[in-house]
Homo-oligomer: A and B are copies of this chain.
Amino acid sequence: MNNILRVNTLTKEIRSEACKPEEVLLGGRSLIADLALKEIDPNCDPLGRKNKFILAVGLLGDTNVTTSGRFSVGGKSPLTGGIKEANVGGSVGRTMAMLGFRAVVLEDAPAVRQTNILVITGEKVQLISAPDFQNLAVRATCRLLRDRFGKNVGVICVGPAGEMQMAGAGLATTDKDGIQIRFAGRGGMGAVIGSKGIKAIVFDDTGVKTTTKYDRKALNAANKKLVQIIRDDPKTESRHNFGTPGVLAICDSLGILPTRNFSAGHFERMDAISGRTIRELIDKRGGDGRAGQPCVQGCIIQCSNVFPDPSGKATVASLQYENIALLGSNCGIGDIDDIAELNDLCNEVGLDAIETGAAIGVAMEAGVIPFGDSEGAKDLIHQVLKGTPLGRIIGNGVVITGKIFGVKRVPAIKGQAIPAYDPRSLKGIGVTYVTSPMGADHTAGNALEMADTIDPRGRDGQVEVSLRLQLRAAILDSLGVCLFIRPAFVKSPELLAELINARHGRKLQFKDVQQMGMNCLETEREFNRRAGVSTEHFDVPEFMRYEPLPPYNTVFDLTMDEMNKILEVQAPKDQF
């Protein structure tokens, strides 16, 4: 797992190089930050020849640590103009790690649109022209790739939205069995790989035996402790049973559930789309329906699902909170089957469902279609697929949609749609949206997990909370493990060092790991400074400062100066 594969997508030159010594303790998000700052012109066109598409696996990518093997994609974002990293489960991360690659970097860009597939096996790396895959929807693409290259392969791909280089395009990947379609959705990285003329990357580690030596005994011992704490954590059972949709009722009661283009934080039809309802329908409808599914091998939480239609046929897998909120309540749509279908359509076209749901909400506010019009919303996504002018507007995300239709209530920060947590009643996540190098991204530091220890609508302590959460995210995203195992490290921060030490033969302490997180954030901030998109230029949307959010009638009232103090705040020692 110590090599970096580089593919020049213009000249088709392929080469592999060993990680430099200073890269050996970087993985996933922190490796992307490091490579981006060293290699990408921060002022380049995100869809031009000078940007790079980076795929990187976490530091624990080739281990059996629970939830490990997530992988990150990143580069300069066509939405934010700054650095972006998005990560996801599935089987690609581990396969890539087993093949010895810590990162794959796609460089330069072909002069005209191309449809190529990069195939990486233990024996060779090939860039194959695949015009028959052009404009193919995501599910068919994944199926065809598995048919052609074997059931054991890990695949990532884009849908037509990514091929058309729409800034709302994400990257799709499947689980080991090819059932779930999961997305590294945020930041428009699907458009970036699309601009490189790469439709898909296929990883096949068949027959590859890892020769990497590390202290497996120590790693297993650390993992055992980790697993035990997770199993004991009261949230684990709920996550397993209800998945991320379980937080919908919580967010509704906190008044932060985006509703009708962020004009309210409570949705009157919440019950019809909640985690409990979803679970009941899965159980009642049977058929393909499943709850408690893993997205990466070896996960003990298993929070994914397969959501079936009334006849029991799978509609979408996995149906997640953020997508339900943005495509559902945010569009005034309260029918869970409609929402599942919209989610599936986004997946098929290869769109980030958060960005797209926000864009549809703004189009509804503009009167393009009325709120609640689920058939109209489906038609909009079909139009993305067809590449009509209206479809291309939606596919390019919420900010462009707002500009095109002259809408003032545009839920975006730094060009990227705000996810399913309205910051007016969850102030800490507002600090994250504004100050994280990732922009409006809930995975960069979600204050919801602190909502029972600090008043979510209060002003005090939000900056400190955000920094701590941002650090957590940066560390876990660099290890390639799921944010949901953080309770173990909160309880036992030294576990983080134990895992890294066992895998990489180091003698780190927790404070060193914390410093790794700080370094990651600081590297990303520096990229953004050089790109002209540093923290001080991006506030919450103006309407959130003067338009009270029902039902608590809050506005966002932390000042930019208060939030920017985050650059001086110290993380608490010995605490994750």
Task: Assess whether A533 is interfacial by the CB under 8 Å rule.
Answer: yes
Q: What distance in Å separates the Cβ of A255 from its nearest Cβ neighbour in chain B?
A: 22
Is A542's CB under 8 angstroms from B404's CB? no
Q: Give, as a whole number of angstroms, the nearest-CB distance from A143 to chain B.
A: 26
Residue contact A43 to B542, C-beta cutoff 8 Å: no
Query: Which of A121-129, A327-335, A337-345, A385-393 interfaces with chain B?
Result: A385-393
Determine the chain B residues whose CB is within 8 A of the CB of A167 once the complex forms.
403
In the complex the two chains form, is A542's CB within 8 Å of B393's CB? no
Bound-state Cα–Cα, A541 to B400, Å: 20
> Which A residues from 373 to 412 make CB contacts under 8 A with B?
388-390, 392-393, 396, 400, 403-406, 408
Which residues of B are found within 8 Å of A48, using beta-carbon distances? 408, 542
A534-554 CB mask vs B (1 if < 8 Å, else 0) is 101111011000100000000
Q: At the interface, yes or no: A504 with Cβ under 8 Å from chain B?
A: no
Tell me how far the C-beta of A197 lies from the nearest C-beta in chain B, rounded to whole angstroms: 12
> Which residue of chain B is the closest to A534 with respect to CB atoms?
B532
Pair A537/B390 contact, Cβ less than 8 Å: no
Query: How long is the Cα–Cα vector from A166 to B407 in the complex, in angstroms?
Result: 11
A44 at the interface (CB under 8 A from B): yes
How many Å from the CB of A335 to the closest CB on chain B? Answer: 27
**Interface presence of A431 (CB below 8 A):** no
Given contacts A538-B43, A542-B44, A542-B50, contact A396 B403 (CB under 8 A): yes
- A47 lies within 8 A of chain B by Cβ: yes
Question: A406 to B538, alpha carbons, bound, how many Å?
Answer: 26
**Are A404 and B396 within 8 A (Cβ)?**
yes
Most buried by B among A45, A405, A532, A541: A532
Give Cα A229–Cα B295 distance, bound, in whole angstroms: 79
Q: Is the CB of B531 within 8 A of A537?
A: yes
A396 to chain B, nearest CB (A): 6
Number of copies: 2
Chain B residues near A539 (CB-CB < 8 A): 43
Q: How far is the CA of A113 from the CA of B407 in the complex (A)?
A: 10
Given A43-B539, A393-B389, A165–B406 Cβ distance below 8 Å? yes
Give the docked Cα–Cα distance between A534 and B50 (Å).
20
Interface centre among A44, A49, A531 (most CB of B within 10 A): A49
Residues of B with C-beta under 8 A to A78: 403
The answer to whether A254 has its CB under 8 Å from any CB of chain B is no
CB contacts under 8 Å to B, within A458-504, are none
A166: B residues at CB distance < 8 A: 406
Residues of B within 8 A of A113 (CB): 406
Contacts of A43 in B (CB 8 A): 536-539, 560
Question: In whole angstroms, what is the CA distance A189 to B48 when docked?
Answer: 29
A63 CB to closest chain B CB (Å) equals 40
Q: How far is the CB of A168 from chain B (nearest CB, A)?
A: 11
| Option from B393, B396, B532 in Cβ contact (under 8 Å) with A533 | B532
Please, how many angstroms separate the alpha-carbon atoms of A74 and B178 in the complex?
A: 56
Instruction: Write out the residue numbers on chain B whose beta carbons fall within 8 Å of the beta carbon of A541.
Output: 45
What is the minimal beta-carbon distance from A391 to any residue of chain B, in angstroms?
Answer: 9
B residues in contact with A560, CB < 8 Å:
43
B404 near A392 with CB under 8 A, answer: yes
Task: Give the residues in chain B near A538, CB-CB below 8 Å.
Answer: 43
Given the complex of chains A and B, what is the CA–CA distance between A9 and B387 in angstroms?
A: 39
Residues of B within 8 A of A49 (CB): 542, 546
With the chains together, A539 CA to B49 CA distance in Å?
14
| Contact in complex: B406, A403 (CB < 8 Å) | no
The answer for the CA separation of A400 and B400 in the assembled complex, in Å, is 8
Contacts of A546 in B (CB 8 A): 49
From A48, A404, A405, residue with most partner B Cβ within 10 Å: A404
Q: Are B405 and A542 in contact (CB under 8 A)?
A: no
* Shortest distance from the beta carbon of A277 to any chain B beta carbon, whole Å: 35
Min distance, Cβ A190 to any Cβ of chain B, angstroms: 12
Q: How far is the CA of A271 from the CA of B396 in the complex (A)?
A: 41
Partner of A408, one of B47, B393, B400, B408: B47
Q: Answer whether residue A164 sits at the interface, using C-beta atoms and an 8 A cutoff.
A: yes
**Cβ-defined contact, B400 with A404, below 8 A:** yes
Tell me the bound Cα distance from A392 to B389 in angstroms. Answer: 9
Given contacts A164-B406, A403-B400, A406-B165, contact A45 B542 (CB under 8 A): yes
28 of the cross-chain contacts (CB-CB < 8 Å) are A43-B537, A43-B539, A44-B542, A45-B408, A45-B541, A45-B542, A47-B406, A48-B408, A48-B542, A49-B542, A50-B542, A113-B406, A164-B406, A165-B406, A166-B406, A167-B403, A388-B389, A389-B390, A389-B393, A392-B404, A393-B393, A393-B404, A396-B403, A400-B403, A531-B537, A532-B532, A532-B536, A532-B537
Task: Supply 19 further A-B pairs (C-beta < 8 A) apart from A44-B542, A531-B537.
Answer: A43-B537, A45-B541, A47-B406, A47-B408, A48-B408, A50-B542, A113-B406, A166-B406, A167-B403, A389-B393, A392-B393, A392-B404, A396-B403, A396-B404, A400-B400, A400-B403, A532-B532, A532-B534, A532-B536
Give me the 4 closest cross-chain CB pairs, A-B, nearest first.
A532-B537, A389-B390, A165-B406, A389-B389
Interface residues of A (CB under 8 A from B): 43-45, 47-50, 78, 113, 164-167, 388-390, 392-393, 396, 400, 403-406, 408, 531-534, 536-539, 541-542, 546, 560
